[in-house]
């Protein structure tokens, strides 16, 4: 009888141990199945992208030609995991369709992988070493639509059980963007010959009574064009010089009727026909200096890196000191 009871206890203990071991194995395996490897875009990206911006000027191309791409895991790996990441422009069309964009595929001759496509997430870590990409010919990448280089995880291997490629974040999209800028970053006015303004005319987005567009070229520092008193309304002015001229920049006198109305940021565009426009760049400056007056104005310079030939010059004011109106006192051209 005692032998039977003892045998029964042994069977119970064995069954319980087997159950615990079975549950433990299933739990570990489940944890392993949750291990996904993926590539994420830059912080805040809604389309899993990394932006590589280049600014083209008439004399140079500005931007960082080196880029790092890393693979990540959803948890620290318990054993090394090797990850192969491969550029694949086959994803460009689907990205454009999904995001309503028009990126061109980044030409193969314009980039290279500096080190290797195969990288490792070492045991105990969440992130792999970097794949280094280099943009080789940024000066040729001048289409305003921009360029796209998808980089995809194409293979993984390792001893961490259950590791797999993410089904929805296996590709990061490298956006190589183009922008043109012909505006000098400083607001110091150029010196030189000021063009005559007798043939000029001005059109503006909207006005305040008694402060119309022609006040910008009336020769008085005490008058100004002032926009409507609606903060959300467009604020722009177009100067028509009467004929095509080659100019180096503008001297702009502040609106001293109300100094808070002066622009701190403007998009400057040029045209030969008042229909087709070329954006020359974005001017950024400050309001008039404290103590300056209409009699002793703080003249702002909007200067071109390379001289521009055009008849029409448009100033879209996108930021100003404060309030709801924007204004300009006088505009002169430096030839």
Q: Sketch the domain layout of the chain as residue ranges.
A: 36-180, 201-334
CA-CA distance, 255 to 204, in Å (whole number)?
Answer: 15
The confidence band for 33, taking pLDDT boundaries of 50, 70 and 90, is: low
pLDDT at 21 > cutoff 60? no
The predicted structure's pLDDT at residue 29: 37
Least confident span in 32-41, 213-222, 280-289: 32-41
For residue 80, the number of C-alpha atoms closer than 13 Å in the C-beta half-sphere is 6
The predicted structure's pLDDT at residue 161: 81
The predicted structure's pLDDT at residue 11: 44
- pTM value > 0.85: no
Domain range 201-334, CATH class = mainly beta
Contact 118, 82 (CB under 8 A): yes
CATH topology for 36-180 is Immunoglobulin-like (2.60.40)
User: pLDDT tens, 173-230?
Assistant: 999 999 999 999 999 999 999 999 999 999 999 999 999 999 999 999 999 999 999 9
Least confident span in 54-58, 139-143, 164-168, 250-254: 164-168
Contact 331, 240 (CB under 8 A): no
The predicted structure's pLDDT at residue 10: 41
For residue 29, the number of C-alpha atoms closer than 13 Å in the C-beta half-sphere is 6
User: pLDDT tens, 72-93?
Assistant: 999 999 999 999 999 999 999 9
The confidence band for 34, taking pLDDT boundaries of 50, 70 and 90, is: confident
């Amino acid at each position: 009888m005692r032998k039977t009871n003892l045998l029964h206890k042994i069977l119970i203990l064995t069954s319980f141990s087997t159950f615990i071991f079975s549950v433990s194995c299933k739990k570990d395996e489940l944890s392993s199945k949750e291990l996904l490897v993926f590539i994420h875009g830059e912080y805040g990206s809604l389309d899993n992208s990394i932006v590589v911006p280049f600014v083209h000027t008439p004399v140079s191309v500005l931007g960082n030609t080196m880029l790092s791409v890393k693979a990540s895991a959803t948890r620290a790996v318990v054993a090394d995991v090797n990850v192969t990441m491969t550029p694949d422009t086959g994803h460009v069309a689907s990205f454009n369709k999904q995001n309503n964009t028009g990126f061109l595929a980044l030409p193969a001759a314009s980039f290279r992988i500096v080190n290797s496509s195969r990288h490792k997430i070492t045991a105990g870590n969440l992130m792999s070493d970097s794949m280094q990409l280099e943009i080789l010919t940024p000066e040729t990448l001048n289409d305003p639509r921009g360029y796209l280089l998808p980089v995809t995880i194409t293979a993984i291997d390792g001893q961490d059980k259950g590791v797999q490629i993410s089904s929805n974040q296996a590709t990061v999209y490298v956006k190589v963007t183009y922008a043109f800028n012909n505006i000098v970053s400083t607001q110091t006015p150029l010196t030189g010959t000021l063009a005559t303004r007798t043939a000029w005319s001005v059109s503006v987005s909207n006005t305040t009574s008694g402060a119309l567009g022609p006040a910008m070229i009336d020769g008085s520092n005490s008058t100004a064009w002032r926009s409507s008193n609606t903060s959300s309304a467009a604020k722009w002015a177009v100067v028509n010089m009467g004929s095509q001229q080659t100019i180096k920049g503008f001297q702009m006198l502040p609106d001293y009727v109300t100094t808070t109305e002066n622009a701190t940021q403007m998009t400057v565009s040029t045209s030969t026909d008042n229909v087709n426009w070329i954006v020359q760049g974005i001017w950024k400056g400050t309001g008039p200096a404290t103590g300056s007056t209409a009699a002793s104005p703080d003249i702002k310079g909007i200067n071109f890196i390379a001289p521009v030939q055009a008849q029409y010059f448009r100033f879209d004011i996108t930021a100003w000191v404060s309030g709801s109106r924007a204004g300009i006192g006088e505009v002169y051209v430096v030839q």
